[in-house]
Amino acid sequence: MRNLWQFLVKYSNLFLFLILEGVALFFVFSRNGLAHSVWFTSANAVTGSVYQAWDNVTGYFFLRRENERLVTQNAELQNRITVLENWLEGVDEHLLSDSIGAYVYAEKHLHYIPAKVINISTSSQRNFITLNKGARDGVQEDMGVVDQDGVVGIVRAVSDRFSVVIPVINNAFSVSCRFLSNDKLGPLRWDGVDDRYAQLEDIARHVEVHEGDTLITSGLSDAFPEGIRVGVVEQAELGESDAYYHIKVRLAADFHRLGYVQIIQNTALVEQRQLEEWGR
């Protein structure tokens, strides 16, 4: 107690100054409108900056949950579109022709399963992706995998809770593509050099190919329906003696930013393969 009293006595002048300074400031800002406005504006700016910083921090932590919600919602919307298209398929074509023109029949056997990328490699010849969905979620081998930009890969191994995908950037991957502009077909393969590009093969020299042409899935693959974006022609070279183009394709999917994907469940695949096996 004695030490406290000595401390107060020793710094009494400082305490008196702070008290008087506080009183003076109170009268300045409460009686002077301009000073009050300046103080309020400055305080509000500081407070706003603090709130903005806090919002950025909390927003970052909630971003993962929001992304999961969005990818699930997107899959649900795609599934609803399929249901609607299947319903339209049963409607009399004459009733639809006047309002929507030619109708494209739906892929009624397709269902989309949302999944999160939990591991990925991009620096080897045999890259892979691990997803957090497995057999208990309906995932099976040979199912196609896409994201919001386009083709990602094909499921190659499945456990109860996880699945492993061979992506486009794996030299064991190949998918049949066609040009959006002229319907010419060719297989897309990765040469193991750059994870941003792949090569389109078997395009004959008589075909017109231009930089910027869009490539989509042809529908000839079991894993992917027709019309999913694969990439864009970055470069097309043709030597005088070449029978086929050398086509470099910029991939639609960005594997360095891959976070959430959708697995395409083809419920008619087993039936199709059984029938094709019988045909052999």
Considering the domain architecture, whether residues 35 and 170 belong to the same structural domain is answered as no
CATH number at residue 261: 2.40.10.340
pLDDT at 27 over 70: no
- Higher pLDDT residue, 118 or 37? 118
- Higher pLDDT residue, 217 or 70? 217
In angstroms, the CA 9 to CA 267 distance is 87
Task: With respect to residue 173, please indicate whether it lies within any of the assigned structural domains.
Answer: yes
Considering the domain architecture, whether residues 114 and 244 belong to the same structural domain is answered as yes
Considering the domain architecture, whether residues 54 and 145 belong to the same structural domain is answered as no
Task: With respect to residue 262, please indicate whether it lies within any of the assigned structural domains.
Answer: yes
27 contacts 21 by C-beta, under 8 angstroms: no
Name 185's Cβ contacts closer than 8 Å, sequence gap at least 6.
176, 177, 178, 218, 220
The number of folded domains in the chain is 2
Q: What percent of the chain stands above pLDDT 90? A: 44
Considering the domain architecture, whether residues 52 and 125 belong to the same structural domain is answered as no
pTM of the model: 0.65
Tell me the two tokens of residue 145: 């995998």
Domain boundary among 61, 77, 96: 61
Considering the domain architecture, whether residues 160 and 265 belong to the same structural domain is answered as yes
Name residue 145's beta-bridge partners: 153, 263
Considering the domain architecture, whether residues 227 and 141 belong to the same structural domain is answered as yes
Task: With respect to residue 161, please indicate whether it lies within any of the assigned structural domains.
Answer: yes
Q: Which domain holds residue 6?
A: 2-61
Considering the domain architecture, whether residues 49 and 124 belong to the same structural domain is answered as no
Query: Which DSSP category does 135 fall into?
Result: G
Task: With respect to residue 48, please indicate whether it lies within any of the assigned structural domains.
Answer: yes
Residue 59 CA to its chain's centroid (Å):
19
In angstroms, the CA 175 to CA 35 distance is 71
Name residue 129's beta-bridge partners: 120, 165
Name residue 247's beta-bridge partners: 200, 236
Task: With respect to residue 78, please indicate whether it lies within any of the assigned structural domains.
Answer: no
Report pLDDT digits (tens) over 158-198. 999 999 999 999 999 999 999 998 889 999 999 999 999 99
Considering the domain architecture, whether residues 117 and 204 belong to the same structural domain is answered as yes
Tell me the two tokens of residue 234: 């970055």
Q: Alpha helix (H) ranges present in the chain?
A: 2-10, 12-31, 33-89, 93-100, 269-279
pLDDT at 26 over 80: no
Considering the domain architecture, whether residues 151 and 211 belong to the same structural domain is answered as yes
Task: With respect to residue 23, please indicate whether it lies within any of the assigned structural domains.
Answer: yes
Task: With respect to residue 52, please indicate whether it lies within any of the assigned structural domains.
Answer: yes
